[in-house]
């Protein structure tokens, strides 16, 4: 699938001059490409969506089973069944995230070409990105899956609210940003998982205000799981993946690339620094 090419001849002066302006420019001129990214991401999210669906069906099956109630209240057997249900599906959903991160490896290749103002052939570039970024994207997926399972475990079995909140805070504020930085880093530079993770940590520490810009989005996505109707919940998830997540991914990619430009690229990879932007002084 090919993206439309501008009718006028391409000139360097037509490029945006900042990453912020570039984000707006891509949304304006490559809207269909972003929707295609959402469609691709939806395919890789289908296992998670099915897991959420069956999790809810199983949950309501237990809640509506009279055998799990004593005097109108959920008995110990019912509570144990609910906890087992959440634990099992917590493991399944965590594994599903590995598949999603594998897909993100291919999507990052497309996002890189978008910000570099390069011609895109969606299928070819996506498959090439999967191949090039497979190892690190899968390992970051495993890392995210472990964090996701740890959060589920704390929710079910850690009764100390302060400890549970501390674990959740460390995961959200420290490890998840490093994982997401690592995905972008992998699409730019060669390097093993540990080297990429280490450099992602250094970048995070050095530019933490920029990295935390998107932190408020995490609680918003968490609110989806509070929707009682599983039909509405699944519908909201699908719409969000198609119409919201691609733009958030692009924004995140632009932020991290700006950080890479001003830290690594400007010093060691000048040919990559601010690539895709127009600079008058050049």
pLDDT number for residue 5: 45
Mean pLDDT (whole number) for 10-37: 88
| Element housing 83 (H / E) | helix 76-115
User: Looking at the predicted structure, is the pLDDT value of residue 263 above 60?
Assistant: yes
Where does the pLDDT of residue 6 fall: very low under 50, low under 70, confident under 90, or very high at 90 and above?
Answer: very low
Closest CA to 81 of 93, 95, 91, 67: 67
Packing angle of the helix pair 122-157, 76-115 (nearest 10 deg): 150
pLDDT number for residue 222: 73
Mean pLDDT (whole number) for 99-110: 97
Q: What confidence tens digit (pLDDT) does each residue in 214-239 have? A: 777 666 777 787 787 888 988 999 99
Interacting residues of 156 by C-beta distance below 8 A, sequence separation 6+ = 83, 86, 87, 90
Percent of the chain whose predicted confidence (pLDDT) is above 70: 93
Where does the pLDDT of residue 34 fall: very low under 50, low under 70, confident under 90, or very high at 90 and above?
Answer: very high
Q: Residues 51, 57, 62, CA angle at the centre, nearest 5°?
A: 125
Q: What is the pTM of this model?
A: 0.88
Q: What confidence tens digit (pLDDT) does each residue in 186-214 have? A: 999 999 999 999 999 999 999 888 888 77
């Amino acid at each position: 699938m090919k993206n439309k090419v501008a009718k006028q001849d391409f000139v360097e002066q037509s490029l945006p001059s900042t990453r912020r302006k570039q984000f707006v420019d891509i949304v304006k001129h490559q809207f269909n490409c972003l929707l295609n990214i959402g469609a691709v991401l939806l395919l890789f999210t289908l296992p998670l969506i099915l897991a959420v669906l069956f999790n809810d069906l199983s949950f309501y099956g237990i809640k509506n089973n009279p055998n799990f109630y004593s005097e109108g209240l959920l008995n110990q057997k019912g509570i144990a069944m609910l906890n087992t249900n959440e634990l099992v599906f917590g493991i399944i959903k965590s594994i599903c995230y590995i598949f999603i991160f594998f897909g993100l490896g291919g999507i990052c290749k497309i996002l890189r070409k978008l910000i570099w103002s390069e011609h895109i052939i969606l299928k070819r570039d996506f498959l090439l990105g999967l191949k090039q970024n497979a190892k690190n994207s899968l390992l970051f997926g495993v890392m995210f899956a472990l964090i996701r399972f740890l959060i589920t475990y704390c929710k079910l079995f850690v009764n100390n609210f302060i400890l549970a909140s501390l674990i959740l805070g460390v995961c959200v504020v420290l490890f998840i940003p490093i994982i997401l930085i690592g995905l972008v880093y992998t699409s730019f530079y060669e390097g093993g998982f540990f080297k990429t993770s280490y450099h992602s940590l250094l970048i995070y520490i050095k530019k933490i205000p920029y990295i935390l810009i998107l932190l408020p989005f995490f609680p918003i996505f968490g609110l989806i799981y509070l929707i009682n109707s599983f039909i509405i919940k699944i519908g909201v998830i699908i719409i969000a993946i198609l119409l919201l997540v691609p733009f958030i991914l692009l924004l995140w990619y632009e932020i991290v690339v700006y950080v890479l430009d001003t830290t690594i690229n400007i010093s060691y990879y000048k040919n990559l620094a601010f690539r895709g932007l127009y600079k008058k002084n050049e």
